[in-house]
Amino acid sequence: MIQFLASFFIRDSRNYKSPEVRQAYGVLSGAVGIGLNIFLFFGKWIAGMLSGSIAITADAFNNLSDAGSSIITLIGFRLSGQAPDPEHPFGHGRMEYISGLLVSVAILVMGFELIVTSIGKLRNPKPIESSTVVFVILIASILVKLYMFYYNRSLSKKLESAAMKATSADSLSDTVATTLVLAATLISKYTGLILDGWFGILVGLFIVYTGGSTLKETIDLLLGQPPKQEFIDEIKEIVLGHSLVYGVHDLIVHDYGPGRVMISLHAEVAVDGDIQDIHEQIDHIEHELQEKLHCSATIHMDPIVTDDREVLAMKDKVEKIVHNLDETFSIHDFRMVKGTTRTNLIFDVEVPRKTSYTDNEIMNSLKEQIHKLSGSRYFAVIQIDHEYY
């Protein structure tokens, strides 16, 4: 249904990278979610009144809160699409993350309230009146929530949306919750056992777990996570696809929300190249990154020696020493500065965040091994850089 509606109301609906298309899908998904959840609320509320089941009634109000969550998601997408302003020069893209945070909190609150209500039901159990109407409503609710889980999960992957991912998790938890309610109703009908309160607690615990998981994921996005490796690979492929670039390092990705990504990096270029031509090509690379990856890029040029055999041979030796220490380490900005009694080998070592070595251990080990080269004539001047991905 979502894709059918999107084909009518969203122009260029397959262009999922477009900020305008993302916003339109968010609004459409939110509107559909509001309608379906209100429909489910009335159906379950009627079923709860007919059966006298606290679990069914609580599940009905859970759907009502989901309608509120859909409103939050809709508002979040609307706000995230606003243009930058003087108070928010990087745009409002993180409003989508905040809406996902609010949805997660709403899930947690509903889960805790359901647990408290179910404990009260254990203290004062009442038999459940079941009927065909009740079973039909519950089964229909399960099918609707499965559909909502499917389309929200599908869109969250296509749009890389934290808010839709939270909504899909909520829909899945609702599916499990209603299934447990249905199971409790069936057991009560055919065995006479009153398990309404116990199943209500199980439903509440599952909802709390789901809310906690989505809350953590959304908080991680707000705090800042490393970019996906696929995105890093795409950046390097584009930059290194230009013959004037010999290497890429010091790559940092700043994420201000979907459609508001900024990157900075250092590109190694020949020290004897024409500076105007190199600058023009770097500008072209920045525009290519903007066009293909929808990100704003700033590239710093690092001149390196590319035709001095002695320098290149020494660089190879140093690289072998670095890789012997740890294969995940890499070097860049390599230079040789000769003096009357010693030669300084100046370079940066790029180190992953996950390493068992401290910066001092890395520098001391490399300096000691490099100092042993060619009669202790070489001295290493090292700068440690840590990856941000």
Name the residue ranges covered by the structural domains of the chain.
2-223, 234-298, 308-389
Would you state the pLDDT for residue 113? Answer: 80
Place of tokens 């000769």: 338
Mean pLDDT of 68-88: 74
Homologous superfamily of domain range 2-223 = Cation efflux protein transmembrane domain (1.20.1510.10)
Are the C-beta atoms of 304 and 271 separated by less than 8 Å? yes
Q: What are phi and psi of 237, to 5 degrees?
A: -60, -40
Average pLDDT, the chain: 83
Residue type, 37: N
**Which is it for strands 330-338 and 261-270: parallel, antiparallel or unpaired?**
unpaired
Q: Which of 148-157, 240-249, 369-378 has the lowest mean pLDDT?
A: 369-378
Interval 88-132: pLDDT, tens: 777 777 777 787 788 788 878 878 887 887 787 777 776 666 677
Mean pLDDT of 30-59: 80
What is the C-alpha to C-alpha distance for residues 181 and 203, in angstroms, rounded to an integer? 8
Domain 308-389: which topology?
A: Alpha-Beta Plaits (3.30.70)
Most confident of 55-59, 130-134, 342-346: 342-346
Q: Domain 234-298 classified CATH 3.90.550.10?
A: no
Mean pLDDT of 280-296: 91
Would you state the pLDDT for residue 10? Answer: 78
pLDDT grade, residue 236 (50/70/90)? very high
- Name which of 260, 261, 278 is nearest 269 in CA terms: 278
pLDDT grade, residue 289 (50/70/90)? very high
Would you state the pLDDT for residue 127? Answer: 65
**Which is it for strands 343-351 and 378-386: parallel, antiparallel or unpaired?**
parallel
What is the C-alpha to C-alpha distance for residues 198 and 209, in angstroms, rounded to an integer? 17
Would you state the pLDDT for residue 126? Answer: 66
Would you state the pLDDT for residue 33? Answer: 83
Are the C-beta atoms of 48 and 15 separated by less than 8 Å? no
Say whether pLDDT at 186 is over 70.
yes
Say whether pLDDT at 8 is over 80.
no
| 234-298 and 308-389, same CATH topology | yes
Using CA atoms, how far residue 327 sits from 44, 267, 360, 368, in Å, is 59, 22, 18, 18
Would you state the pLDDT for residue 374? Answer: 67
Using CA atoms, how far residue 99 sits from 22, 106, 164, 172, 356, in Å, is 15, 11, 10, 19, 38
- Point out which residues pair with 381 in neighbouring strands: 346
